[in-house]
Every structure is written in C-alpha cells, then in structure tokens.
Amino acid sequence: MDLLPPGPSRPKHHRQAPLDVSKLHEQALSVLQHNDLGQSTRPAPHLYPHQWLWDSCFIAIGLRHVDIHRAKTELLSLLRGQWDSGMIPHEIFAPNSTYHAGKKVWRSHQIEGSPKGVHTSGITQPPMIAEAVVRVGEKLGLKERRAFYEQMYSGLVHFHQWLYRERDPHNTGLVTLIHSHETGMDNTPYWTRVIRPAAPVRVRALQGIGQEGLLDYLRKDKKAADNPTERLSSVDIHTMYHIITQIRRKDYDLASLLALPYASPNVPLLQDVFFNAILIRANTHLRAIALALGKTLPDDLQLAINKAPHAFETLFANGNYWSRNLRNDELIQEPTIAGFLALYAGTIPPAHAHILAQTLQRPTYWATYGIASVPTDSLYFGAHRYWQGPVWVNTNWLIADGLERYGYTDLASKLRQQTIQLVAKHGMYEYFSPIDGSCAGTHDFSWTAALVIDMLEREYPKGRVAQLAKKFRAATRPRVPAAV
C-alpha cells in the first residue's frame, strides 16, 4: 500500500461491495435504541450494563445526527458522576445490574469527595468529552450551542485541572495512569508487559504449578461474554482486579501510589501515549469552548496545556510514540496502535505524522478493514483477542480523524469507508479480526453503532437517513427526561 500524498483532494469512494446505507443506519439506530437507559446508553446489553465515560462520548457523536437532545443528555449525564476533585470516573453504575467489576469492587461511596447518590469507579478513561461536546455543538444554533457549552464548561475545566494537578504532580506536561482500564485498551501489550510482574501471589503460585486454568472458574465476566476466549486472559484479569484493590486502598490517589517502592506486586504507573494524545486534542477543544463563551481558562490549566505538546515529543523514539514507565523512566517500545493517536493529538511535527502514516499502512497493521490494535507480527497478536490484535471501530474513527488533520484526506476516507463495509458485512460487534473481518467480542455494541452513523453521515450523501432519524426520535423521546 502506498502512502497517499497529503492534499485537499475530495475523498474518493473506496467501496468494496454495494452497501445498503439505509439498512445499516436502521441497524445502528436499533442498537442504540435497545441500549438506551434513558439519560445514558449502556455499551452493550449483557457484558457492559452501566455507563462508561469514553463510550458515552462516542455515542453522543453518533446520536447528534439523529437526536440532538439525547446526545446532549448523554454528555450531561456524565457530570453526575464527577467527583469533588474534578475526576470524571470511567464507569457510573446503573442500579440493579450485575457486572464483573461493579460497585462492590470500587466502593466509591467509601471515598471522600465521591458523588452522592451514584456509585462510580475510582479511575478515569480517555478524556473524549471535550471532543464530544464540540461535535454536538456543531449541530446546534449559536444560542443553543452557547447554552450547552455553559452547562458543560465548569465540569470540563474541573476535569482537565484534575488531570494535570493530580496526575502530573511533577509538572512534566504528561499525565500518569494508575490502571490499564484508564487507557480504554485494557490488555494492550505495553500495559500487559508491566502488569504481569504485578500478578498476585495466588496467581503466580498457580502459574508455578501449571494450574492457572483454575482461574477461569473464578471469572465473572465470562458468563456475560459471547465468547469468553475473546476477552483478557484469566491471569491478566485477576491481576487487574488485584491492582484495583491496591489502588482503592490508596484512595485512587497517584501521590500515595508514587510513595510505594517499585517491587512486585506494586502498581504499574504509565505516562500513557494513547491517553495523553487524546488529552492534548481535548485541550484544544476546551480552549475553543472557552473562546466561544468569552471565558479565559485558569492560569494553571493554561500552563499545563501549553506544556503538553512539547512534553509529548519526549515520547518519540525510533519512528513512533511510546508510553513511559514512570517507575523506571523508560519508554515501553512495544508495537501497538497507541502511537498512531499522535496524529489525532494534532500537535506533532508533519515529518513525524508522515512516518506514522507510512507505518500504519504496513499490511501488518492495515490489511483490509483498518488498523489492527496490535500488528500481526507481534508475539502478542491474536485476531480475536480483545485489545491484542482486533480492529476496533473507535480507533479507526480516531485515526481517520488524525490522518485528515495532517492532510491525508483520501486515506482517512478510505479508512472510514472500510470500517463501514466491515460493520455492514459482519454486524454491530465490539471488535473484528484485522485479517478476515470476522466479528468478535459482544454483539449490539453501542459505539460501533454510533460511530457508523457518524461515518455514514460523513461518507454518504446527506438526507438519505433523515427519515430513520425521525423514527428513532419518536421511539426514544418519551423515555428521556427533560433535564439531567
């Protein structure tokens, strides 16, 4: 595959097979309708019954095309989980739903400053919320947009301030993650590498006698998964639970965790490249929101925002961007999709963007349906193994956006069209094999549906889907409360 030169050319159509746009749109809407919880949307019916931070952002980006009121509600509802510190948690638990790492695991109500009346996790997730607010804002008239921005503004500022104040205590310009779930890519290999030495004694003992298979019986997520072998390994999931217990005992506070010496089974801490790239982009959006409201961001935040793009460049080595292990200050040069998010950050030098655009076109990353979460020549690769190989619709969406920002318009369009084809052929699944597109993970996955709607709007003539949107609004409206 050749690198397409940057330029303002109109996107060409890269259709591989005839596509029934209306049918696909209808399927996507029915998934969102089915997963609608009133003021938020669950990611999937069985496996993920609560509200997740970055899922809701992607969902709002799709919903804005069909029900702007509901899209606003999706984002406003995230603020009900915000902690006094400013943290927006990665999960807000819906009442009466079971989940393998639910409220009893996180115990947010025991921590001072957690919100009253809702149970949440104690960690965050990629800060996609400013992006989603701006995307929803694009669909509103000036007056309504400002009103919506006003509703979101202080929560957003507070969140970004928390990220830099609490998660970058040494003012490096890069925030640190305390759990792999914060990156959104739970078992991505660069996290797996640092997590495995932190396995609890019981897990290592079972591994020592070759009996780790027994851990399968203690897993709760397997019951809800369509095919449990497509999720994390039992060793990794038990290690992740163990890390949750340790960070909970330290009130999910980075400063306290930093005070622990680095020896197994302590907690891995990473300046995560994927998360920081998204944060840099979110900062740009936050600035735009402040500008639209005629407000000035607080000085501490301005300083951090200015520093971040320079600090991000310290993650560049050998032609890619990597996460830094805060425990030993080393870059973890383990090939995954994460470094490509530097394109989405939008602040890297064009020469680096050029290298990334070339790398992601290698067949090991991009076979037919977009970018594999781990290249096929990695030792970690498994075509259906969660974040260790499959193509995900949200990362295709993010990378297409990043490519476009650097002028690779045609490549971005090709990526979006292949993603649409993938979902049209295999269904609204959570993830897909990068080799043959076969579906994996859970069915009726909300961000797949929402982002397909967004990509359809982008790639296909407008107006063909308006009627379906009307039908969707009629079906959801009575269940949506007037305000959050």
Residues found near ligand 9WN in the complex (CB under 6 A): 43, 48, 52, 54-55, 90, 181, 184, 186
Closest distance to ligand 9WN from the beta carbon of 41 (Å): 10
Query: Looking at beta carbons only, is 359 or 395 nearer to ligand 9WN?
Result: 395
Query: Looking at beta carbons only, is 200 or 228 nearer to ligand 9WN?
Result: 228
* 3-state SS, residue 439: strand
Which of 36, 186, 236, 459 does the annotation list as catalytic?
Answer: 186
Query: Do residues 97 and 119 make contact, with C-beta atoms less than 8 angstroms apart?
Result: no
The verdict on whether 251 is a catalytic residue reads no
CB-count burial class (<10 Å; 0-12, 13-18, 19+) for 211: exposed
Query: Looking at beta carbons only, is 135 or 181 nearer to ligand 9WN?
Result: 181
Which of 55, 212, 430, 454 does the annotation list as catalytic?
Answer: 430
Closest distance to ligand 9WN from the beta carbon of 52 (Å): 4
* 3-state SS, residue 408: strand
440 sits in which H/E element: strand 439-440
The verdict on whether 430 is a catalytic residue reads yes
The pair of three-digit structure tokens given for residue 441, joined into one six-digit string: 């993970």
* 3-state SS, residue 271: strand
Closest distance to ligand 9WN from the beta carbon of 55 (Å): 5
Closest distance to ligand 9WN from the beta carbon of 410 (Å): 29
* 3-state SS, residue 172: coil
325 sits in which H/E element: strand 323-325
* 3-state SS, residue 177: strand
CA–CA separation, 398 and 387 (whole Å): 15
Closest distance to ligand 9WN from the beta carbon of 125 (Å): 6
Query: Looking at beta carbons only, is 67 or 444 nearer to ligand 9WN?
Result: 444
Point out the residue whose Cβ comes nearest to ligand 9WN: 43
Query: Do residues 109 and 121 make contact, with C-beta atoms less than 8 angstroms apart?
Result: no
Query: Looking at beta carbons only, is 148 or 392 nearer to ligand 9WN?
Result: 392
**Cβ atoms within 10 Å, residue 461:** 8
3-state secondary structure 55-109: HHHHHHHHHCCCCHHHHHHHHHHHHCCCCCCCCCCCEECCCCCCCCCCHHHHCHH
Query: Looking at beta carbons only, is 48 or 369 nearer to ligand 9WN?
Result: 48
Closest distance to ligand 9WN from the beta carbon of 218 (Å): 16
CA–CA separation, 95 and 103 (whole Å): 10
Residues catalogued as catalytic: 186, 430
